[in-house]
Amino acid sequence: MQNPFLAKGYLSPKFFCDREKETEMLLSNIQNGIDTTLISPRKLGKTGLIHHTFYKIAEEKLPYNTIYVDIFATLSLKDFIKTLAESILAEFPEKTTIGNKFMTLLKGYRPVITYDPVSGLPQVEFSFAIPSEKEYTLKGLFAFLNSQKQHVVLAFDEFQQITAYPEKNVEALLRTYTQQMHNISFIYCGSKKSIMTQMFTDVARPFYSSTRQLSLDKIDAEKYSAFIREKFAPAQVDDDAMNYILEWSRLHTFYTQSLCNEIFKMKPKVVTLSIVRMACREILETESSNFMQIRNLITDQQWLLLIAIAKEQSVQSVTSAQFLAKYQLGSATNARRNLESLTEKELLLETIGLNDKSYSVYNVFLSRWLEETY
Ligand SMILES: Nc1ncnc2c1ncn2[C@@H]1O[C@H](COP(=O)(O)OP(=O)(O)OP(=O)(O)O)[C@@H](O)[C@H]1O
Ligand SMILES: [Mg+2]
């Protein structure tokens, strides 16, 4: 039997817990011509939500073409254009009428097109002689989508990546083009909260106030436990075991999924607390060599700070005299510098509340491992 707890990717609604409200909001934005920014910490389920929404659109035969563009690996505007072209080709295969038209348009830009020997998917390589050719091509791709009979939904995943491109004007350029495309709804998705928020809420930035923000939070505990029980059935899940699963993985989707996946592998007749604990131990043992690598990438003081925050689960006043003394973390100035550095490296997660900020170890398994090991 297939393990029902996916630790990567999206299959179908059967393996997807809740997110009903968020899916509704995304659909409503699409239906009302509103672009969306989708922001959350890593591994909470942004990409899953996009695929889930696109799945619903297909299942319910809603009149939209959906295109998913993952720009995580792109390093320049040229890569961006290549990835966009390939994603369009993936949605409209060459043998369809639209795909055929798109291929004709694409060939006008004289790219080299090859086919991946494994997936069979086309790969596009452009060579631009001058910058204006890039802009011309990008505009051409958007204009093609915009001219389709059926409305297009275009999702850019890891959108913050555009701020790392060497070309200076990408944000302004994209804003100018996307604003003109009335037949396309855009979804901009990203996990680097500070970069994404600045991009969309800073008055001086091109994308200022152009979208509605959808912040993804943790899945509701009751809904998640109902989902977990359903997937383990006919095996029962003891109440203390369920509490431990949700608490230990902090309801952080990827970690909850991975833990349940591990428990399911053991094929228990009843999911008891001791089985859950065994699965936790198994996960930490497997991961420990990766975690030890991290030790070599940061300073001693940073490592100590990481352990201290892991032990406290979540810390608000990292520079308070009491906290510094308890874990021998040195001066407040140093602690603040280390805090910034660890947050920048995504080893710490900064959570901003109404009146305060708090910090926790970003990777929940690393947090549990530090807590137990030191
Ligand atoms: N609603 C859900 N129900 C069950 N599993 C989910 C759900 N959402 C996400 N997952 C699972 O959790 C993991 C992380 O989800 P996903 O990749 O969508 O997160 P993400 O926010 O896009 O992360 P990143 O910022 O790293 O790209 C995946 O393995 C996915 O299968
Ligand atoms: Mg993602």
Task: Please report the DSSP string for 101-155 in residue order.
Answer: HHHHHHHTT--EEEE-TTT--EEEE---SSHHHHHHHHHHHHHHHHTSSSEEEEE
- How remote is the CA of residue 257 from the centroid of ligand 1, in Å? 9
Residue 72 located in a structural domain: yes
293 plus 303 within the same structural domain: no
Q: Indicate whether 278 and 369 sit together in one domain.
A: no
pLDDT in tens, the chain (374 residues): 799 999 899 999 999 999 999 999 999 999 999 999 999 999 999 999 999 999 999 999 999 999 999 999 999 999 999 999 999 999 998 889 999 999 999 999 999 999 988 888 889 999 998 889 999 999 999 999 999 999 999 999 999 999 999 998 899 999 999 999 999 999 999 998 889 989 998 999 999 888 999 999 999 999 999 999 999 999 999 999 999 999 999 999 999 999 999 999 999 999 999 999 999 999 999 999 999 999 999 999 999 999 999 999 999 999 999 999 999 999 999 999 999 999 999 999 999 888 889 999 999 999 999 999 99
Residue 1 in domain = no
Contact between 219 and 249 under an 8 Å Cβ cutoff? The reply is no
Does residue 7 lie within any of the structural domains? Answer: no
The alpha carbon of 365 and the centre of ligand 1 are apart by a number of angstroms equal to 16
Q: What is the pTM of this model?
A: 0.95
Point out the domain boundary residue: 297, 326, 342: 297
Q: Do residues 50 and 108 share a domain?
A: yes
Q: Are residues 307 and 245 in the same domain?
A: no
Which of 12, 43, 224, 362 to probe ligand 1 with, by most ligand atoms within 8 A of CB? 43
Domain that holds residue 264: 221-297
Say whether the peptide bond before residue 234 is cis (omega within 30 degrees of 0): yes
Interatomic CA distance for residues 50 and 23, integer angstroms:
8
Q: At what angle do helices 221-232 and 253-265 cross, to 10 degrees?
A: 20
161 lies in the same domain as 282: no
All residues at 6 or more sequence positions from 326 whose CB lies less than 8 Å from its CB, including other chains? 308
